[in-house]
Amino acid sequence: MTHTTALARLEPLVGRWTVRPDVPGLGSAWTEFTWQDDGAYLRQYSDIDELPPTAPQAWRDNAPFPTTTLIGLDDATGEFTMLYADGRGVHRVYQMTFADGVWRMWRAAPGFHQRFTGELNPAGDTIHARWESSEDGTTWTSDFTVTYTRIDHA
């Protein structure tokens, strides 16, 4: 597996998407995946025009926008790593896979483990996903579900 071939597995993500968390009153944001440095990395940038006045207070207090991630490949293992940073000053490192239309991200941090699972529909225009968290990495709770809907291909 060459570096380019492995990164090409991420091609179904490339483009602009509407992101709609299943959180009453929240509305939607957008995200865009683009190749960086001649395809050496995949960059994801997400933002929101404005939080609606109906957004829950917890989201108003902790809205992460804008967010930037940079996805790279370890060519020895074929595994992806995602570096994440957001408008709150939060920085995280996630492990990631994308295979057979299933997108997974996870991190194990003391007291705050996270995992994400998204499934790309056969048409390639919708991803149904969920975020979960755990204090101990064993007992998981659902944070929220989210739907990505493709706006256009980049």
Other C-beta atoms within 10 Å of 67: how many?
19
Give the tokens for residue 75. 């060519």
CA distance 35 to 52: 31
pTM over the 0.85 mark = yes
Each residue's pLDDT tens digit, 52-97: 888 888 888 888 899 999 999 988 888 899 999 999 999 999 999 9
Give the model confidence (pLDDT) of 110-120 as tens digits.
999 999 999 99
Residue with tokens 């000053």: 89
In this structure, are residues 154 and 33 in contact, taking their beta carbons and an 8 Å threshold?
Answer: yes
Q: What are phi and psi of 76, to 5 degrees?
A: -75, -35
